[in-house]
Amino acid sequence: MIWLTWRQFRGSAAMMAAVLVVFAAVLALTGPNLASEYAAGVAGCTPDNTCFDFFDRFFSEYDLLFLALTLVVLILPALVGLFWGAPLITRELEAGTHLLVWNQSITRGRWLAVKLGLTGLAAMAAAGVCGLAVTWWSDPLDKSAVPEMAQMAPVVFGARGIAPMGYAAFAFVLGVTVGMLVRRTLPAMALTMVVFAAIQIAMPLLVRPHLMPPVAGTFELGRENMDGLGAPGGGSLQIFLRTSAVPGHAGAWVLSSKLVDPSGRTISSGDGSSGPSSTIVRAVPVSTTSGPCSAQGLPTGGCTAEINRLGYRQQATYQPLERFWPFQWIETGIYALLTLGLAWSSFWWLRRRLS
Amino acid sequence: MTAVLEAQALGRKYGKRWALRECTIDIPAGHVVGLMGPNGAGKTTLLKLASGQLEPSTGGISVLGGRPGDTPAQLAKVGFVAQDTPVYAGLTVAEHLRLGARLNPRWDAAMARERIARLGLVPAQRAGKLSGGQRAQLALTLGLAKRPELLILDEPVASLDPLARREFLQGLREAAVAHRLSVLLSSHLVSDLERICDYVIVLADSRVQMAGEVDQLLAAHHRLTGPRRDPDRLPADQHVISAGHTERQSTYVVRTDAPNHDPAWTATQLSLEDLVLAYMDKRTVDNGRAVLEVRR
């Protein structure tokens, strides 16, 4: 059975292997340069404390590549589910060859076990290699990424570490199970994609924030959590509060970020203005006609100190970067359980309903 | 001899529709059994139940003393060649033999190679490029080289031209004799099976209409032709299977153990085809006189 599975699978396995080898080779050749450029930059910026500027420059230089590689890792499991999972059984059903193979001297259960096991392991290996290679390559960029692309942020987290293996295993078994239910290849592929995409979107939105209770904290305002101040037309002072960063916790995934006044009440009004992306605008009753927050005072930088002195704070909940690996293990475990559940139901379905 | 297939009140339904019901048969070993019936009569359902592809909805079935398709040992004893003789289009002929060798403990590699060579199949050719007849022969070779005790074939010749049909059935008969194999094959064409079967089962309307050895069945059935009269006036020991009437003449197919003594009737032998068709048509008689009147 192993021979037959391999014989049927070797074409797609070879193609995947070839693509991965090229992919890994390109990463292996360019990775060291990227790392040394980062190291040199950090060495240069640390003495004069300008590393934020270096990070911005360095990340914006590579952000497209960074995003593209992240997307590759995110999409790979879906492709595995679509092109390896869904056709695994439907191809046999459509050609009628299931009747040939089920009447050799092995049980259907064993047939499915070998097919699922072998192809599933290959899927996990492919996603694992791809995910870990990108994790390694992106390390300098992850350290200098803008807060929205932090390592714990939804899009990036799923493309790092071991989670892609869990996704790939799940997508593969999902494809197989959907294929068994739908029994035709194209509809099965379409349905697999829709279901997998829905789950991949639901996971970071609904489940991942609660894997561990988020940390709550109150922070002084500063460069890391504030994208500037504004005093339009001498009205109240506007604070552009970042929604995806908290000071001192680079790489954290910020779940909520709000501005509170000195008595601890949330300020929810922004006078109808809008700020840069990933910020919220909040208006605070601080004089903008005179003092450090006036049009003359703002450029001197004294305003930030003034609002902190007055007691305005950022109140945020977040998942810090230290939880990256625990989260990776938990999430991979969840997908492993889902995979096992689906695999079990596919065996049940094979015995009870199919044919 | 032990039974190759025993079924008690076997039934299978798809949704609300019964594909096969109240099927009770007992096929002894060592026969080439023809399963006949019109399209949709339940032939494929019965064969799939026998090979374990389907689970019965009601009743029970045992094949060679075991539950169909349950264990590798049971699977090894029963060969199955599915309708349209599916093979892997992307695999070569030689790879199909390798598949058989890998998946069957009793695989007869020498016999498979010899058969392929004798049939003129090229081992390196992909199965997708074979003709319908060659594909059927490849599927049959896989079924035979597995060395089963019972080989089941579902409409194996349906898509073959007359010459390929004859060759296929010839090959099947030779193999059955050579390996002392029981064979169960279905067809909706009696002429296909007439040549090789010594046991027939007729399915119609999802029920078994007739089952038995061909010789005995032919000996027990006659066609009676005589002046027109109603079936009630036939002797009591004559069981009417089918009836046909013209203005002056009645023709009955009857089952009887006693010879015919009524000089008004001419008794003639039936061919297997006549007999099978009479049973497929049996409902017309079961429905009684109303049909008789309509037929005039």
Q: Is the pLDDT score of A85 beyond 90?
A: yes
Instruction: Give B238's pLDDT tier (boundaries 50, 70, 90).
Output: confident
Q: Which two tokens stand for residue A83?
A: 């092109």
Q: What pLDDT does A90 receive?
A: 94
Q: What pLDDT does A355 receive?
A: 52
Percent of chain A with pLDDT over 70: 97
User: Hey, of A92, A103, A108, A353, which one would you mutate to test binding to chain B, going by the most B CBs within 10 A of its CB?
Assistant: A103
Q: Residue A109 class from Cβ within 10 Å (0-12 exposed, 13-18 middle, 19+ buried)?
A: exposed
User: Hey, of A105, A106, A111, A351, which one would you mutate to test binding to chain B, going by the most B CBs within 10 A of its CB?
Assistant: A105
Other CB atoms within 10 A of residue A128 CB: 17
User: How far apart are the C-alpha atoms of A86 and A72, rounded to whole Å?
Assistant: 20
CATH number at B3-205: 3.40.50.300
Q: Give B21 to chain A, closest Cα distance, Å.
A: 19
Residue among B84, B106, B146 minimizing CB distance to A96: B84
* Beta pairing partners, B246: none
Q: What is the mean pLDDT of residues B73-90?
A: 91
Task: Classify the complex by whether its ipTM is higher than 0.90, answering yes or no.
Answer: no
Q: What pLDDT does A208 receive?
A: 94
Q: Report which listed range, A39-48, A163-172, A215-224, B61-70, is most confident.
A: A163-172
User: A97: closest CA among B90, B70, B115?
Assistant: B90
Which residues lie below 8 Å from residue A225, measured CB to CB, with a gap of 6+?
Answer: A219, A241, A242, A245, A246, A247, A257, A314, A316
Identify the three-state secondary structure at position B126: strand
User: How far apart are the C-alpha atoms of B78 and B80, rounded to whole Å?
Assistant: 7
Other CB atoms within 10 A of residue A24 CB: 18
Contact A167, A123 (CB under 8 A): no
Which residues lie below 8 Å from residue A104, measured CB to CB, with a gap of 6+?
Answer: B75, B99, B100, B103, B104, B146
Q: What pLDDT does B295 receive?
A: 38
Mean pLDDT of chain B: 86
Cα B69 to chain centroid distance, Å, stands at 20
Domain residue ranges in chain B:
3-205, 216-295
Contact B93, B122 (CB under 8 A): yes
Q: What pLDDT does A237 receive?
A: 85
User: A226: closest CA among A303, A309, A144?
Assistant: A303
Contact B144, B115 (CB under 8 A): yes
Are residues A8 and B139, on separate chains, in Cβ contact within 8 Å?
no
In this predicted model, what pLDDT tens digit does every residue of A341-353 receive, in sequence order?
999 999 999 887 6
Contact A174, A342 (CB under 8 A): yes
- The residue in chain A having the minimum alpha-carbon distance to the alpha carbon of residue B48 is A355
Q: What pLDDT does B285 receive?
A: 47
In this predicted model, what pLDDT tens digit does every residue of B154-189 receive, in sequence order?
988 887 888 888 888 988 888 888 888 999 999 878
Q: Is the pLDDT score of B289 beyond 60?
A: no
User: How far apart are the C-alpha atoms of B248 and B216, rounded to whole Å?
Assistant: 32
Least confident of A18-22, A69-73, A152-156: A152-156
Q: Which two tokens stand for residue A211?
A: 């894997």
Placement of tokens 């003789």 in the chain: B85
Q: What is the mean pLDDT of residues A308-331?
A: 93
Chain B residues within 8 A of A109 when measuring between CB atoms: none
Q: What pLDDT does A233 receive?
A: 67
Chain A residues within 8 A of B51 when measuring between CB atoms: 103
Which residues lie below 8 Å from residue B282, measured CB to CB, with a gap of 6+?
Answer: B204, B209, B241, B242
User: Hey, of B99, B151, B155, which one would you mutate to test binding to chain A, going by the most A CBs within 10 A of its CB?
Assistant: B99
Contact B33, B182 (CB under 8 A): yes
Within an 8 Å CB–CB cutoff, is residue A9 touching chain B? no
Model confidence, pTM: 0.88
In this predicted model, what pLDDT tens digit does every residue of A182-196 receive, in sequence order?
999 999 999 999 999
Q: What pLDDT does B92 receive?
A: 94
- The residue in chain A having the minimum alpha-carbon distance to the alpha carbon of residue B68 is A103
Instruction: Give A301's pLDDT tier (boundaries 50, 70, 90).
Output: confident
Please tell me which residue, B154 or B263, carries the higher pLDDT value. B154
Within an 8 Å CB–CB cutoff, is residue A14 touching chain B? no
Q: Is the pLDDT score of A140 beyond 80?
A: yes
Are residues A104 and B99, on separate chains, in Cβ contact within 8 Å?
yes
User: How far apart are the C-alpha atoms of B167 and A1, rounded to whole Å?
Assistant: 32
Q: Give B154 to chain A, closest Cα distance, Å.
A: 11
Give the angle B148-B149-B155 at the CA atoms, nearest 5°: 75
